[in-house]
Amino acid sequence: MKLIQLAGVTCVSLLLFLLPIQVRGQIPPDAPADTLLHLGDLLAEVRTHNPSLQALHLEVQALALRSGQVSELPDPSVRIVYQPVPILTARGTQRSQWSIEQEIPYPGKLGLQGSIADLTAEIKSFATATLEEDLLLQVKRSYFELYRIQRQELRILAFKDRLLNFEEAAATRYEVGAGVQQAILKTQLEKNSLSRLQLELSVKRRTAIETLSRLLNRPISTESRVTVTVEAPSYVEFDATPLLEVALNQRPEVSALGTAAKRAEEEITLARKQFKPDFRFGVTYFDVGRADVPSTATGRDALGINATINVPLRRNRLRAQLEEARVRRSYIHARQEALTTSVATQVADLMHQLREEARQLELFEEALIPQAETALQATLNSYTTGRTDFLDLLDSERTLFSLGMSYDNTLARYLQTTAALERTLGVDSLADLITH
């Protein structure tokens, strides 16, 4: 009987000793994927296929055509008067009148209206760029979420494989009388907990894929396996002051408010010009026929020239328009100040988050995970020689697994924080800042 126990324990020890230890950089290779998504391709696709973005582009094109409409002179008016019963004048019988009139606004009004329309179209183009930046950020967040889920699913599969071997080893020890049933039950409980985690990740994976489908305006199969690839991140320390300057120069929201401030100034100038009169000039041709009397009724046609001035007497309305334009200018300036403050605090906060997450990643890589690997190897050696029990081994394995999962969570947060900082700065990638 002792020989059987010794043989069983020896086999179990060899089995456990030969098991690979899962480390942070040794996630099992991924199975062949039906769909491999590259971040750069997705970002380019969003720029060209997102319906909301395309709608705004069309609106910008429509607004760009408005300047030519509001900066042109109004159509002239033509007036024809026919007189069935001619009027006898000194020149003869007046049979008809032909007149044409043209309204001419005060000089500068039409130009200002065209300029305001151009600036409005430019503001909308910056709004389109803002939406594009927001959509790109959503794509990056969903992509990095898929990356986290992918890594954690592989960790769970690797841990499940090890637990299966543990369960077989615990069952063998129990059969030969060298183990306890509690070890088998603990292993089964751990496997069920991993199955629950798999279900949670499956739900999150589907949500991330559906988000990408919505942003790309095309279906991405949730049945096939979707795989993503991410380059290993490298942390670079930046000074907050130059970053703020980059944000204020690159963000479309800042440019939109700058253009809005120009439009507000143009609107004030136009409101002042509304106090000036508009003009209307016309020419009238009189068709005159001969008459017997008086002797001067030679039938010579006549020509008349007229001018009309539109006098702006309703000053209260005009003053209200001017005051409204001034208030709008103050409103734009307040928004500019608020945006500058918001950008400054966002840059500082995201830089702090990025710095702390980089430190956490370094702590995981340089201390926590190596120590957990060493502890697991020591526990495995002790277990194979009978100096510790199975629960200690399972606890060491669970500790390493939990650290790996936490590492993946931290890595995903780091990547998403990087994407948020890129959005705040208005740049495509932080690598562009490193290059320049």
pLDDT in the model for residue 93: 82
Closest of 342, 219, 326, 327 to residue 270, by C-alpha: 326
Q: Give the containing element (helix H, strand E) for 18.
A: none
In a domain? residue 212: yes
User: How many C-beta neighbours within 10 Å does residue 190 have?
Assistant: 19
> CA Rg, the chain, in Å?
40
Answer whether the bond into residue 294 is a cis peptide, omega within 30°. Answer: yes
To the nearest 10°, the Cα dihedral for 39, 42, 47, 49? Answer: 180
Q: DSSP letter string over 261-283?
A: HHHHHHHHHHHHHTTSPEEEEEE
What's the pTM? 0.85
User: How many C-beta neighbours within 10 Å does residue 1 have?
Assistant: 7
In order along its 436 residues, the chain shows pLDDT tens digits of 444 444 444 444 444 444 454 444 444 444 444 578 899 999 999 999 999 999 999 999 999 999 999 999 999 999 999 888 787 777 788 888 999 999 999 999 999 999 999 999 999 999 999 999 999 999 999 999 999 999 999 999 999 988 888 777 666 665 566 555 666 778 788 889 999 999 999 999 999 999 999 999 998 876 667 788 888 777 777 787 889 999 999 999 999 999 999 999 999 999 999 999 999 999 999 888 877 667 777 778 888 999 999 988 889 999 999 999 999 999 999 999 999 999 999 999 999 999 999 999 999 999 999 999 999 999 888 877 778 777 888 899 999 999 999 999 999 999 999 999 999 999 998 887 766 5
Q: What angle do CA 217, 218, 221 make, to 5 degrees?
A: 140
In a domain? residue 79: no
Instruction: Output DSSP code: residue 296.
Output: T
Residues 301, 285 contacting (CB under 8 angstroms): yes
Q: DSSP letter string over 20-49?
A: PPP-TT-PPPPPPPSEEE-HHHHHHHHHHH
Looking at residue 118, which CATH number applies to its domain? 1.20.1600.10
In a domain? residue 284: no
Give the pair of three-digit tokens for residue 270: 């136009």
In a domain? residue 303: no
In a domain? residue 90: no
Residues 213, 146 contacting (CB under 8 angstroms): no
Q: Length of the chain in residues, anyone? A: 436
In a domain? residue 282: no
In a domain? residue 176: yes
Cβ-proximal residues to 325 (8 Å cutoff; 6+ apart), any chain: 264, 267, 268, 270, 271
Q: What is the Cα–Cα distance from 413 to 410, expressed in whole angstroms? A: 5
Residue 243, amino acid: L
What total of structural domains would you count in the chain? Answer: 1
Q: Which residue has the tokens 């700058």?
A: 258
Q: What is the Cα–Cα distance from 81 to 99, expressed in whole angstroms? A: 9
109-175 helix and 181-216 helix, angle to the nearest 10 degrees: 160
In a domain? residue 113: yes
pLDDT in the model for residue 296: 74
pLDDT in the model for residue 293: 67
Domain of residue 186, residue span: 2-72+105-276+312-435
pLDDT in the model for residue 288: 85
Task: Classify 228 as helix, strand or coil.
Answer: strand
Residues 379, 1 contacting (CB under 8 angstroms): no
Q: Which residue has the tokens 């750069």?
A: 40
Q: What is the Cα–Cα distance from 347 to 370, expressed in whole angstroms? A: 33
